[in-house]
Chains A and B, each alone.
Chain A
Amino acid sequence: MGEVNKSRRLFLTALGTTVVGIGIGYAIGYLSKPAEMVERTITSTVTKTVTATPGVTPPPVGLSGAATRALEGVRDLLNRGVIKPGTTIKILHVAGSRAQLERAIELWGQYVPEVNVELITLGQEPDVYTKAMAEAVTKAGTFDIVTIFSTWLGDIVEAGLAKSLDEYYVKYDPEYTGPCAPIEPLGSYVTIYKGKRYSVVLDSDVFTLSYRKDLIENPTYKNEFRAQYGKDLKVPDTWEDLIDMAEFFYNKNLTAPSGGRVYGAYFYAEPAFAAYITWLNIFIEAGGIPFDLETMDPKVDTPEGRYAFDIMLGLRPYMPPEAITAGWADLYDKFIKGETVFTAAWPSLTKEAMRPTSLVKDVAGSALLPGVIVNGKLVRAAPNPVNWVGVISNYSKYPELSYLFLQFATAPDIGLDVILSGVILDLFRECWFKDPAYRPKSAEGYGEEFIDVYMESLRISFPDILIRGGPEYLSKLTTEVNSVMAGIKDPEVALNDVSAEWDSITKKYGVDTQLEAWRGLAQLFPDDVKDVWRAKGYMK
């Protein structure tokens, strides 16, 4: 009997040890929280002598209308007791935008020290998508604002996470009309879904053509090219021209400043995410329309779709194989090392090429992407893949306050300051390109030549397929484009497969609702593209 008691005790001890072990873990987790809370909150340094008493603070002087209205809105919320001092709002974002968001928070703190803003920083973009969609399911209130890619807008809205912002736009006027508005059509197509506003523009991400000016302007090469091809060596107007120039330089077997070989061109064709960009660019310029506006049938297995593949396959011999196998960053790396003559990417490529350590820092040129001649007219369109926008969570306790922070952070004056503090968020307001008060700063950050080119690119830019299922539509397109470029599939078969896959995605969500979203989105495409669609009968 005593023995049984002893074993029971031993057993209980063992059990107790396990429980204690668990308890220790829990205690550590619990204890470490408050300590971290203090560290992590980006509290602001009040550099002005502004007293923190609500209602008594003098109104801000000299700020733009949008910023002033935002601050006044916050004051009002504080005065009415809707928000208490010490409230914290949380922003879920990706590490690359941290410098810029921290700058926004710093400026915010100069005027609104009562409201804290906390950053939840994630490493990779897909993690933001995962966490946002998880929040849509768990509704836990983990964050108030989340920065998302425009591509995800449809998914995020349909999942019920994004709060509709029309009432705030009307009430506070973020200056989306007038000389300082975000350049259209971008301002509309990244914020409007099924006719309503769901996001705030934080960034623009339109592609431009980057090229090695020293090679294009070299007189010897100009003569040789003219002799060989019968036309001028200059920034190409059409993709066919670009192919010729790429061939010319590839055959010259030049050595880049890095010691590597110079390739004629580098356009995205890689399998993980970016291959669709190049294809879609050419497809849209050729007058292709992704979905039929009456039936939502995919319309990629068309002459325009095949033409896009013709061009891409025409470029292939003069591109490095990494264009087909390596990640998106490899394009940047090769251009910065001077190993590519023509390439296209986001504005960050231009900025990186300008750094002192870049091997093309004085010879990198910017231009509009080549276009396609349709009905005798040159049509240019620039893709706008994965554009950052700010969305307010439907499960946030402070939606209005969160919106006001976004309006403040993207206002004409504050917004430019924020953008110039970092890398991944780029210019989007028209006055930042034209207004003498702002232009010098933009030019300093991006280069004079670039900002003129970029402004034009914005005007001819078109959105990702950002209706619901956007990431899936584009991912399937990417793998098929990559298969063709890798020589595994015939273009015809690939286009067929894309059609079939897109169709099944559409059916998964329901043709009617997808059609509604697509119709809305198609209206927001740039005018040049819509004109071609009308000419071809794709659009009424």
Chain B
Amino acid sequence: MKFHGTRVLLSALKYITIGVFILWVLIPVAWVVSLAFKPYAEWRVSYFVPKNFTWNNFIVLFKSEAFIGIMGATAIVEPVTKPLINSLVVTSLSTIMAVMIGFFTAYGASRYNTPGPFGLFFTLLTRMLPPATFVTPIMVYYSNLKLLDTHFSLIILYSAVTVTYGIWILKGFIDAIPIEWEEAAMLEGATPIKTLFKVVLPIARPGLVVAGLFIFLLTWTELLFALVLTNVYAVTLPVHISKYVGAVGQLYGPQAALALIGSVIPIAIGYAIQKHLVTGFTFGMVRG
């Protein structure tokens, strides 16, 4: 009896805790949502529900001329469709690249200690530098290669700076996969490469998914390098959000609206990949 009671109590506690945390997450999100539907006069208030609900902030994302003359608005910027597409292309491709290269490197590092203790650590370097100083050298380098304002330059830059996430997260996952599986496979005549793809890859799937999701999110929201390296053609979503500035400062409404739109794709991915976060295989298992 007591056991059952404790169960119920724990269960209730569990739901309450989850509920509280969800609330904590949702409150600022609710603020974003409310801003997206509020007119200028209501951006700096304390209440959530707009008194004058408006779609203007979303309209302005596609037709900014329609916004001129309304309080706060002065800037005309391009519609958001291009930056959205740019972001999608750049982020997807660089994520795939970073995860793939990360996976290969992590495997070698985990099983064979390539490229050596210092080499692996070296990849962390890319995340250790405050980006501000790195910006000017990158600009100089890219402009000499005539790579400014291209999708290509962003893709390889983002891959290069996020590949370390792929490597380290995947190494963590691969480390915990028992070697016996691969040994068995190779004993049965599979080549190392085949083993890699047919045995290790599926087991490491949750690692790929976590690394991929996180790299995607990092790249999707990256601002500084995109700002400096793009002008017109390869402008990404975060750069575009920064353009909504009017005579009275930041246009919080359109920025919130665009942030919402921009979060739809990542959240869809986040929702869809959930079953892949959990693996069919498990750590530490030896047989069966």
Contacts and interface: CB of A to CB of B under 8 A. Distances in A.
Quick check: do A and B touch in the complex, using CB within 8 A?
A: yes
A142 interface: yes
How big is chain B's contact interface, by range?
A: 35 or more
A92 B150 CA distance: 18
A14 B70 contact: no
A124 B74 contact: no
A455 B63 CA distance: 36
Contact of A352 (B89, B148, B247): B247
Interface string A447-469: 00000000000000000000000
Contacts of B74: 96, 99, 422-424
Interface stretch (B16-24, B136-144, B262-270): B136-144
A123 interface: yes
Contacts of A120: 231-232
Given A120-B231, A138-B144, A29 B156 contact: no
Interface in A487-527: none
B101 A18 contact: yes
Nearest to B101: A18
Nearest to B151: A29
A327 B245 CA distance: 13
Interface string B240-261: 1011111111100000000000
Interface residues of A, number: 57
A10 B228 contact: no
A7 interface: yes
A33 B146 CA distance: 14
Interface stretch (A129-137, A163-171, A476-484): A129-137
B76 A95 contact: yes
Contacts of B246: 96, 423
B150 A140 contact: no
Interface string B44-74: 1000000000000000000000001111101
Given A96-B246, A137-B139, A357-B71, A36 B152 contact: no
A130 B228 contact: yes
A57 B60 CA distance: 40
Given A29-B151, A98-B76, A351 B247 contact: yes
B243 A138 contact: no
B96 interface: yes
A36 B93 contact: no
A329 B136 contact: no
B155 interface: yes
Contacts of A99: 68, 74-76
Interface string A354-372: 0101100000000000000
B283 to A, nearest CB: 27
A142 B144 CA distance: 12
A328 interface: yes
Contacts of A18: 97, 100-101
A3 interface: yes
Contacts of B228: 130-131, 134
A358 B71 contact: yes
B243 A95 contact: yes
B144 A124 contact: no
B249 A327 contact: yes
24 contacts: A22-B152, A25-B94, A25-B156, A26-B152, A28-B152, A95-B243, A96-B75, A98-B75, A98-B77, A99-B76, A121-B243, A123-B244, A124-B243, A131-B228, A134-B228, A137-B139, A140-B148, A329-B250, A332-B247, A332-B248, A348-B247, A348-B248, A357-B40, A423-B246
The 8 closest A-B pairs by CB, nearest first: A329-B249, A123-B243, A29-B151, A95-B75, A123-B242, A138-B143, A29-B150, A423-B74
Interface of B: 40-41, 44, 68-72, 74-78, 82, 89-90, 93-94, 96-97, 100-101, 104, 135-136, 139-140, 143-144, 148, 150-153, 155-156, 191-194, 197, 227-228, 231-234, 239-240, 242-250
Given A11-B193, A121-B243, A348-B248, 4 more contacts: A7-B191, A7-B192, A21-B100, A352-B72
